[in-house]
Structure 1
Amino acid sequence: MLPAQAATMLKLQDQLNRRINPDWTRAGQRFLRAAFVEAAEALEHHGWKWWKKQTLDLPQVQMELIDILHFYLSHAIVAHDGADGASRALMADLAGGDDVLLDGKTYSLPALDIPELLELLGGLAVCGRASFKVLATTMGRCQLTWDEAFKQYVSKNVLNLFRQDHGYKEGTYIKEWNGEEDNVVLARLMAGLEAARPDFAEQLLAQLEQAYAKLK
């Protein structure tokens, strides 16, 4: 994870949250409760029931991890008094060691399998704690790199903001663009951009604007 990527995600999360509630940082929302629920849902998609046959749905597990990332970012902004403090805390967390202490027990992240990592994410959340290190380790085990997670996160947020700005709530937004859904267009535009650029989100939004304007 690059510092510029962390800053971009935190900025987008703040923008999206403000669109929902301009005073969101003082609303007392339980972001880690939401992270706990997402971890449990990811565990369901992975499979954990030893008494029946289950099939791993890796894309769905990855999607739940991206959702946890959304709630972690929101929590970090509130916990560290803004995006700047949250960014520093996020990078420091990722640079930390592979041992996590919870309820008097030390967990070595390299020794844990995916269900155990998901349980740890949930356990930490119940205790009011977030660990970007544990989340990153879990993503890695689920074949999700930070670069790919960043792309998925940014694209989802940019599209959500774009929809709101173009009448999604009012019902005037056009979701199908010349025979393609907007998320398909988004994926194509995203593939042509360099995600490491500090203005990645702005470039993606600008290209969405250009493509949407051609529909009118």
Structure 2
Amino acid sequence: MDKISLMLQLQADLNKATNGDKWTSGITKNNKVINWKRCIYMECAEMIDSFSWKHWKNIDKEANWANLQIEVVDVWHFIMSLAIELDAQHAQSGIGAIASSLADAKSFEKIIVKNSLFANENEIMEKIEAIMLESLLKNEFSLEKLVNDFFDLVVMSALDLETLYKLYVGKNILNQFRQDHGYKDGSYIKVWNGEEDNVVMQRVLEQNSDIAPAELYEELEKLYPAQSNS
């Protein structure tokens, strides 16, 4: 549960830095509406594009498993944000209680077991679509069901709590880096010497699995093309 609490706190801090102190009310500091459910189902649509699902195009192309895992982590950002927002607007119980609630999900036990096996592509896409459907519901929406489906997806995507945490911290730092380098005004460079920044970040993590968040930020600073060309 400690890792869940740490991720929730990192997410809360990132949301506050990005959207302002009152982000849990559903409005950014620039008075733009925040819709975490929409973030979830739109990210899920991108996740499905990790597969060659089009029966008329690139039918033998290998699935992009690394991208699938990154997209899973992106969805986790939004699920945690939604959980924090709902708690702030209703229960006001705090990060520790939210973490306990997430860890009480029946599928949580599956992700605490070390795992490196991917499920069948079609089964993964069906699970992704179940998450999309859940996030599109209004009156009948269940955060518990959404979380259970997500933890199932984590396992199906060859991830576990340890690897989810590792990738989450990496993506959290990358998101901070993006915000600090012009992501909102459109000046940020997302493709670094022919590779997406996600890929670069993953490679840095693979090369040094024990890298600290601050060190990861510094390494991204060194590799960022705008920085190296200045």
* TM-score scaled by length of structure 2: 0.64
Q: Which amino acid aligns with 1:123?
A: L
Q: Are 2:150 and 1:113 aligned? A: no
Worse overlay, 185-194 or 155-164: 185-194
The one of 182, 204, 214 equivalent to 2:213 is 204
8 Å CA contact 1:36–1:122 kept in 2: the answer is yes
2:104 aligned residue = 92
- Give the match's secondary structure for 1:49: coil
* TM-score scaled by length of structure 1: 0.68
8 Å CA contact 1:35–1:122 kept in 2: the answer is yes
User: Aligned ranges for residues 1-216 of structure 1 at < 5 Å?
Assistant: 3-22=1-20, 23-27=22-26, 29-52=34-57, 53=59, 55=61, 56-81=63-88, 82-95=94-107, 113-127=123-137, 128-130=141-143, 131-161=146-176, 188=204, 192=208, 203-205=212-214, 208=217
Change (3 A) 1:186 1:205: farther
Q: Distance in 1 between matches of 2:108 and 2:203?
A: 33
**Offset from partner CA, 1:52-74 (integer Å, 9 cap, x none):** 42532212222211110010010
8 Å CA contact 2:174–2:201 kept in 1: the answer is no
| Identity of matched residues, % | 28
**Offset from partner CA, 1:119-176 (integer Å, 9 cap, x none):** 1011111114442221122122222222112111112213433665699889xx9xxx
Change (3 A) 1:168 1:54: same
Aligned residues: 191
8 Å CA contact 1:35–1:72 kept in 2: the answer is yes
The RMSD of aligned alpha carbons is 4.0
Q: Distance in 2 between matches of 1:118 and 1:207?
A: 30
Q: Which runs of 5+ in 2 are unaligned?
A: 28-33, 89-93, 111-119, 189-196, 223-227
Change (3 A) 1:167 1:31: closer
Larger RCO (alpha carbons 8 Å, 6+ apart): 1
